[in-house]
Amino acid sequence: MKLVFMGTPAGAAFLLKKIFDSKKHEILAVVTTIDKPSGRGQKMAKSEVCETAEELGLPVYKIQTLKDERILSAIKKLSPDIIVVVAFGKILPKEFLEIPKYFCLNVHFSLLPKYRGASPIQSALLNGDKETGITIIKMNEKLDAGEIISQKKVPIFERENSQQLSERLFIESSSFLLQTIDDIENGNIKLHPQDDSFASYCATIKKEDGFLDIKSIGKEKFINFVRAFTPWPGVYLKYKDKRVKILSAEISLLDNKDAIEGEIIAIDKDMGIIIKTKDGSVLIREIQPENSKPMSAISFANGYRVKAKDIFTNVK
């Protein structure tokens, strides 16, 4: 099968290499985003997909807009059988969708039609879901609304954060994607339309989404926030006017009904800092003070002279 691959981040680069290493299919070209400023120095950096493609000796097209006639014409001339899209971040226009012999397919990390959009992994964790999935669709001009080619369920582990779940989904999707491409080539697929009445949507995550409202959040939602927003954008509170990022937490059985939300109920010298929530308490295990490195909550308590009845407050 002759294909064009479109993607940007490290996970997409991982799948690109898996397709290449399988030696089953010919990768005609790779399309990715243009170089962008990155890091503290804001130096121009290639996307992870670009770096991997160059290492593999594959032709790379860096695109700023999908209306770039030069790149559109170049891809058309390649006459691919399929276009594989993984975490590219843009809805393909009709001109792109009509290029391949078969269709453009997209790998999406949810059980579509649930969680259409940019943040399906974070949304599943935010809602405390016990399972998610991998869905491969035939793309159309709407957001994640194309017919389903293949789909599988994937359990979510109890303490998994978004980075850990994302990495596992990319690993699990590698063989699933290759099998789906084989099935397309062999004519062993059946397309299933999505039921739009069951569709839900998730937006792009913003930095301020990680600013907790400690006065209104319950213990389970607190944990879900930490899991969903670790490592990015992070979950933030304030301690004595210093912003802190909560890196790891779990529900605590200890409670103090007289305490207010955000108040430190106790400091467990072996485990961490226990703070009051709207409906109970949580144990903070790992924390990162502003302009400091990550540390255990115990190290934070010792270094910053934290004591019971001190209060964590909202960033805003």
Q: pLDDT digits over 15-43, tens only?
A: 999 999 999 999 999 999 998 888 777 88
The pLDDT of residue 56: 99
Give the residue from 137, 168, 202 where a domain finishes: 202
The pLDDT of residue 39: 76
Mean pLDDT of 142-161: 97
Which whole-number Å values give the CA distances from 245 to 148, 162, 249, in the listed order? 39, 16, 11
58: CATH? 3.40.50.170
pTM: 0.95
Please check whether residue 27 is in contact with residue 58, taking contact to mean a CB–CB distance below 8 angstroms.
yes
The reply to whether 179 and 59 lie within a common domain is yes
The reply to whether 233 and 153 lie within a common domain is no
The reply to whether 251 and 291 lie within a common domain is yes
Cα separation, 309 vs 177, whole angstroms: 52
Q: Answer whether the bond into residue 120 is a cis peptide, omega within 30°.
A: no
The reply to whether 291 and 181 lie within a common domain is no
- Count CB-CB contacts under 10 A for residue 13: 26
Tokens of 89: 């971040």
The reply to whether 110 and 244 lie within a common domain is no
The pLDDT of residue 89: 86
305 pLDDT above the threshold of 90: yes
Tokens of 99: 């290029």
Q: Which of 83, 68, 80, 78 is nearest to 33 (CA)?
A: 68
Q: What confidence category does residue 55 fall into, taking pLDDT thresholds of 50, 70 and 90?
A: very high
Give the residue from 154, 181, 202 where a domain finishes: 202
Domain that holds residue 194: 2-202
The reply to whether 80 and 12 lie within a common domain is yes
The reply to whether 140 and 241 lie within a common domain is no
The reply to whether 183 and 252 lie within a common domain is no
Give the residue from 202, 228, 252 where a domain finishes: 202
- Alpha helices (runs of H) in the chain, residue ranges in sequence order: 10-22, 48-55, 69-78, 94-97, 120-126, 162-186, 219-228, 297-303
Helix (H) or strand (E) holding 146: none
The reply to whether 124 and 165 lie within a common domain is yes
The reply to whether 113 and 239 lie within a common domain is no
Q: Which residues of 238-276 are buried (b: 16+ CB within 10 A; e: fewer)?
A: bbeeeebbbbbbbebeeebeebebbbbbbbbeebbbbbb
Structurally, the chain folds into a number of domains equal to 2
The pLDDT of residue 192: 98
Helix/strand/coil for 105: strand
The reply to whether 197 and 246 lie within a common domain is no
282: CATH? 3.10.25.10
The reply to whether 91 and 231 lie within a common domain is no
Cα separation, 91 vs 68, whole angstroms: 14
